[in-house]
């Protein structure tokens, strides 16, 4: 279509260049609105629109990576963007907007996308120096500067425990501040989750070293003589000594321009608009957080995107209307998955609730179901939100629940991904994309990708926007695409994630060939974006497998999950477990005494495990270095119970003591455990060695199991215990020790190189064409000629092994992270307490059956 002459073209002004304003302009360009309109976009911030949903990642990736428009301009020459520019007045009668510079701009149509402003409660001292809000990149830059001045002993408090408040707390935590969250409501995220969900979330956040104060009213921010924040006064509670205060107590629509212009506003704020998003003036529209549709404001980005599309449709002569929005949310707060969808609080008459709770692992799931048990109405997920992508669309579509709806949230569930979802089901609520539209994008008739159909999920996301905003539906999008390809006989894309267009095996080879040592270099050379919670831990595992470097080395420590980050398994009450290595289960009396003395002196719970080790539970973070120093001095080392690596090689007593034993199972178990200790892998590894066919070490339930014969050793592989146990299968029989170790070296390194992320050996074997027979061809027969290379890789691991805890104790920089409070390193966390159970400590907040016994307060002798 030819462009209209300049003098006949209409003028459209957009006030606000946030996420919604940018979406409006993108839609206007793609749908042809610029054929009849010149568009001028006025942005008050000094930069173009950026991803405010991912604002916390600013400290990691910088402003440029968050930008939606890095070039600072749109490709369409009929769109003019003016940033760092403020509109001070609107004249509906003259159809003019006035800029702070005094310049007037004429408009034929005006779109207000001014968003919302943080609400700062009028408490005394709210305007002191080092009081901030959390809304823009400039806000984060100011907070960062203040945190640097506060130093390592700095303390920050966030007023507000909702979505934005927890994001702000995450920012302070990333900056190294001791962080407090102060929330007036009795639970965190009171709008989205219920009491149990809020309690579960609080426990997660407490375990990360943050302190949560719920039901707490802020009375005043107190300052020092220089007018800077000094303390936070709380009603009926002790004041908090703080250096920085961030207000995140909600938002208010930015409707000042509309009010001054005489437009109708809602009772609770916001430009009052009808379902077409038109204000009380027929030429002025409002979208996003500044709009109040029928008097209601929507504070999420997805409804704002819907509004933007509707106004574009109206300006093109369409009949689009806004009739409400899906207020479901899914996000990762401080590493914790949280989701809420539909009628999360069960307010529908007759609604039933189905719940699953695992207090040990910190998982809580609730489904709200219709009275007849046929429809899903809503739900809450905390700690594990993998099923969100399928559960939320089930609410929107009204599809009938399966006969056993509890399978949708039980841990053995596949998350419903195998269910036959109808094509009209909305998969992406942010961008209103259905399953049918996703399938259409990959159908043979599609003309999206260079004139043809999309060939992978990333292309579908780029063209349909499904998964492009919050990302919570990407798993479902990928599954729909893969199922369609499988059904039509096409090759299925097995990319690790949207940031790496390759499998884990291919990524492993890329890192090995190029010799990369940093995630940033890997993603710059072979990926896109800034990474995610799928590829970052996967890369960390690959680097650890190849380099055997310390997991807390600068540059890669941010890739680690909580356990690796502190070289210990975090427990349900925020304490940690200590598990020294006991190769083969053999231990000297001196080492046994050392373990007992450490447990006694630090008041730890002790338990002998099924893997022939001794677990010590209840260790405070700040005590971990002292505990490990005692154990290291006694000749022990890390058992790597916190890592995806070799755990144990279990053994029976073998021929040394047993009258049935035919080989020295203890000696071989110790040799193998010392050989493979510290070996990082896609999933945890366990081994076993039995001295005879009676199989007392239960070797066939392990990833590798060895059973003695009269002639040598039988090698079994790819077994596991767990929720879905699998018996290991015979790889080779009657082997001498050297051949056994040769095959085992090859097997383990081949698994590490080729398995998918978090894939146990049994599932890995099933995924290989030819299964065990193919593994035997590669490992035993050396069909690919990789034997020497795999053996050399294992030799390199053995030669470069070091004890992570010994290295940590000797490094002051690594030691500095093991404190509960950075400004008071000697003060224990007061939120951790214990009770007595069978003569040992147990978490005081145990939600299981509670044995009678007194609670042991902090500081009491134990």
Condensed to tens digits (0 to 9), the pLDDT of residues 455-507 reads: 777 788 878 888 777 666 776 787 788 788 877 777 666 778 878 888 888 88
Choose between 284 and 71: higher pLDDT. 284
Per-residue pLDDT at 622 = 83
pLDDT in tens, 414-431: 333 445 667 777 777 677
Q: Is the pTM of this model over 0.85?
A: no
Split at pLDDT 50, 70, 90, the class of 651 is very high
SS3 65: helix
Q: Is the pLDDT of residue 853 over 50?
A: no
Comparing 207-216, 240-249, 495-504, the range with the smallest average pLDDT is 495-504
Q: Which residues contact 420 (CB under 8 A, 6 or more apart)?
A: none
Top-level CATH class of 6-117+253-315?
Answer: alpha beta
Q: Is the pLDDT of residue 849 over 50?
A: no
Mean pLDDT value across residues 778-802 = 92
Split at pLDDT 50, 70, 90, the class of 334 is low
CA-based radius of gyration for the chain: 30
Could you tell me the fold of the domain covering 644-802?
A: Sulfite Reductase Hemoprotein; domain 1 (3.30.413)
Per-residue pLDDT at 330 = 76
Sign of CA dihedral 762, 764, 765, 769: positive
Residue carrying structure tokens 């995220």: 189
SS3 560: coil
**The domain 131-249 is classified under which CATH number: 3.30.70.120, 1.10.600.10, 3.50.50.60, 2.40.50.140?**
3.50.50.60
Nearest CA among 488, 421, 499, 423 for reference residue 457 = 499
Strands 336-342 and 271-273 turn out to be: unpaired
Beta bridge partners, 201, equal: none
Return d(Cα 119, Cα 218) in angstroms, integer: 14
Chain-centroid distance, C-alpha 753: 25
Output the known binding site. Answer: 652, 658, 692, 696
For residue 289 the two structure tokens come to: 């957080």
Output the known binding site for [4Fe-4S] cluster. Answer: 652, 658, 692, 696
Q: Which residues contact 225 (CB under 8 A, 6 or more apart)?
A: none
Q: Domain 563-638+806-862, CATH 3.40.50 — does that match? A: no
Mean pLDDT value across residues 205-234 = 90
Cβ pair 327, 344 in contact under 8 A: no
Every domain of the chain with CATH number 1.10.10.1100 lies at 420-493
Per-residue pLDDT at 555 = 60
Per-residue pLDDT at 412 = 45
Per-residue pLDDT at 415 = 37
Residue carrying structure tokens 């477990």: 577
Percentage of the residues of the chain whose pLDDT score is greater than 90? 40
For residue 858 the two structure tokens come to: 């902090």
Per-residue pLDDT at 821 = 44
Choose between 403 and 760: higher pLDDT. 760
Comparing 293-297, 439-443, 571-575, 729-733, the range with the smallest average pLDDT is 571-575
Cβ pair 285, 273 in contact under 8 A: yes
Q: Is the pLDDT of residue 87 over 90?
A: yes
Output the known binding site for siroheme. Answer: 696
Nearest CA among 381, 334, 21 for reference residue 163 = 334
Choose between 279 and 7: higher pLDDT. 279
Chain-centroid distance, C-alpha 837: 35
Mean pLDDT value across residues 612-636 = 87
Cβ pair 357, 363 in contact under 8 A: yes
Nearest CA among 169, 188, 177, 189 for reference residue 246 = 169
Mean pLDDT value across residues 514-530 = 86
Per-residue pLDDT at 452 = 77
Q: Is the pLDDT of residue 4 over 60?
A: no
Every domain of the chain with CATH number 3.90.480 lies at 563-638+806-862
Cβ pair 284, 264 in contact under 8 A: no
Per-residue pLDDT at 2 = 45
Q: Which DSSP letter does residue 321 get?
A: -
**C-alpha pair distances (Å), 797 with each of 549, 678, 742, 824:** 10, 9, 14, 39
pLDDT in tens, 93-102: 999 999 999 9
Per-residue pLDDT at 220 = 94
**The domain 420-493 is classified under which CATH number: 2.60.40.10, 1.10.10.1100, 1.10.357.10, 3.30.70.270?**
1.10.10.1100
Q: Which DSSP letter does residue 726 get?
A: B
Mean pLDDT of the chain: 84
Mean pLDDT value across residues 115-133 = 93
For residue 545 the two structure tokens come to: 């497998």
Q: Is the pLDDT of residue 144 over 60?
A: yes
Per-residue pLDDT at 861 = 32
Return d(Cα 215, Cα 235) in angstroms, integer: 10
Percentage of the residues of the chain whose pLDDT score is greater than 70? 89
pLDDT in tens, 625-637: 888 899 999 999 9
Comparing 205-219, 329-343, 739-753, 761-775, the range with the smallest average pLDDT is 329-343
Nearest CA among 49, 44, 103 for reference residue 71 = 49
Q: Which DSSP letter does residue 290 get?
A: G
Every domain of the chain with CATH number 3.30.413.10 lies at 644-802
For residue 806 the two structure tokens come to: 């010994």
Provide DSSP, 599-641. HHHTT-EEEE-TTS-EEEEEE-GGGHHHHHHHHHHTT--B--T
Produce one character per residue of 79-105: b if its CB has 16 or more CB atoms within 10 Å, e if not.
Answer: bebebebebeebebeebebbeeeeeeb
pLDDT in tens, 792-847: 999 999 999 888 888 888 888 788 777 654 444 555 666 677 778 787 877 775 44
């Amino acid at each position: 279509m030819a462009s209209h002459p300049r003098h006949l073209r209409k003028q459209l002004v957009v006030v606000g260049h946030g996420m919604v304003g940018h979406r409006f302009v993108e839609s206007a360009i793609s749908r042809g609105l610029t054929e009849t309109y010149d568009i001028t976009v006025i942005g008050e911030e000094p930069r173009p629109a950026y991803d405010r949903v991912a604002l916390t990642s600013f400290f990691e990736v910088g402003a440029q990576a968050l930008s939606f428009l890095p070039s600072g301009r749109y490709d369409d020459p009929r769109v003019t963007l003016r940033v760092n520019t403020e509109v001070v007045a609107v004249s509906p009668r003259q159809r003019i907007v006035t800029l702070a510079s005094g310049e007037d701009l004429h408009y034929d149509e005006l779109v207000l996308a001014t968003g919302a402003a943080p609400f700062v409660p009028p408490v005394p001292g709210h305007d002191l120096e080092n009081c901030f809000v959390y809304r823009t990149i400039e806000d984060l830059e100011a907070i960062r500067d203040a945190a640097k001045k506060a130093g390592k002993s700095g303390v920050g408090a966030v007023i507000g425990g909702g979505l934005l408040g927890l994001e702000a707390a995450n920012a302070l935590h990333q900056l190294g501040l001791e962080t407090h969250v102060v929330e007036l409501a009795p639970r965190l995220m009171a709008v989205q989750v219920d009491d149990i969900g809020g309690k579960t979330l609080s426990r997660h956040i407490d375990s990360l070293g943050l302190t949560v104060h719920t039901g707490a009213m802020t009375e005043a921010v107190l300052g020092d003589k220089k007018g800077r924040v000094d303390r936070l006064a709380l009603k009926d509670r002790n004041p908090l000594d703080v250096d920085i205060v961030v207000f995140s107590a909600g938002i208010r629509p930015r409707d000042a321009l509309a009010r001054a212009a005489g437009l109708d506003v809602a009772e609770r704020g916001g430009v009052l608009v009808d379902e077409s998003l038109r204000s009380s003036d027929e030429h002025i529209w409002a979208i996003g957080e500044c709009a109040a549709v029928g008097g209601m404001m929507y504070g999420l980005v997805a409804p704002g995107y819907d509004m933007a599309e509707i106004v574009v449709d109206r300006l093109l002569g369409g009949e689009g209307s806004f009739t409400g929005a899906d207020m479901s949310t899914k996000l990762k707060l401080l590493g914790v998955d949280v989701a809420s969808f539909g009628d999360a609080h069960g307010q529908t008459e007759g609604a039933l609730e189905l719940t699953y709770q695992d207090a040990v692992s910190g998982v809580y799931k609730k489904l709200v179901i219709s009275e007849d048990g046929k429809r899903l109405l809503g739900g809450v997920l905390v700690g594990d939100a993998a099923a969100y992508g399928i559960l939320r669309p089930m609410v929107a579509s009204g599809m009938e629940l399966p006969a056993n709806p509890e399978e949708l949230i039980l841990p053995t569930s596949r998350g419903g991904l195998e269910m036959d979802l109808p094509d009209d089901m909305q998969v992406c609520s942010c961008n209103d994309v259905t399953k049918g539209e996703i399938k259409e994008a990959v159908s043979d008739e599609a003309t999206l990708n260079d004139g043809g159909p999309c060939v992978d999920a990333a292309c579908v996301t780029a063209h349909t926007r499904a998964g492009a905003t919050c990302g919570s539906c990407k798993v479902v999008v990928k599954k729909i695409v893969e199922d369609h390809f499988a059904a039509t006989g096409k090759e299925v894309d097995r990319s690790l994630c949207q940031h790496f267009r390759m499998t884990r095996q291919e990524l492993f080879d890329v890192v090995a060939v190029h010799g990369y040592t940093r995630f940033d270099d890997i993603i710059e050379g072979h990926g896109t974006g800034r990474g995610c919670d799928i590829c970052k831990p996967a890369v960390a595992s690959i680097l650890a497998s190849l380099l055997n470097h310390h997991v807390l080395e600068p540059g890669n420590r941010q890739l680690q999950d909580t356990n690796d980050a502190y070289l210990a398994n975090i427990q349900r009450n925020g304490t940690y477990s200590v598990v020294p290595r006991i190769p083969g289960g053999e231990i000297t009396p001196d080492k046994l005494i050392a373990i007992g003395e450490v447990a006694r002196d630090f008041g730890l719970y002790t338990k002998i495990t099924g893997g022939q080790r001794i677990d010590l539970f209840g260790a405070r973070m700040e005590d971990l270095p002292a505990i490990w120093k005692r154990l290291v001095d006694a000749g022990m080392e890390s058992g790597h119970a916190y890592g995806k690596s070799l755990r144990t090689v279990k053994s029976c007593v073998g021929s040394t003591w047993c009258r049935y034993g035919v080989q020295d199972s203890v000696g071989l178990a110790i040799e193998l455990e010392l050989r493979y200790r510290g070996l990082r892998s896609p999933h945890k590894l366990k081994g076993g060695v039995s001295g005879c066919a009676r199989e007392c070490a239960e070797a066939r339930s392990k990833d590798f199991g060895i059973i003695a014969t009269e002639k040598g050793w039988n090698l079994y592989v790819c077994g596991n215990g767990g929720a879905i146990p699998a018996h290991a299968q015979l790889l080779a029989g009657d082997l001498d020790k050297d051949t056994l170790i040769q095959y085992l070296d090859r097997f383990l390194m081949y698994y590490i190189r080729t398995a998918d992320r978090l894939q146990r050996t049994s599932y890995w074997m099933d995924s290989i064409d030819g299964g065990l027979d193919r593994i035997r061809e590669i490992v035993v027969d050396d069909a690919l000629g990789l034997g020497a290379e795999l053996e050399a890789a294992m030799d390199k691991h053995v030669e470069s092994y070091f004890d992570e805890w010994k290295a940590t104790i000797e490094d002051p920089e690594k030691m500095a992270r093991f404190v509960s409070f950075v400004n008071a390193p000697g003060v224990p966390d007061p939120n951790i307490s214990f009770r007595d159970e069978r003569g040992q400590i147990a978490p005081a907040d145990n939600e299981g059956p509670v044995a009678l016994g007194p609670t042991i307060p902090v500081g009491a002798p134990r």
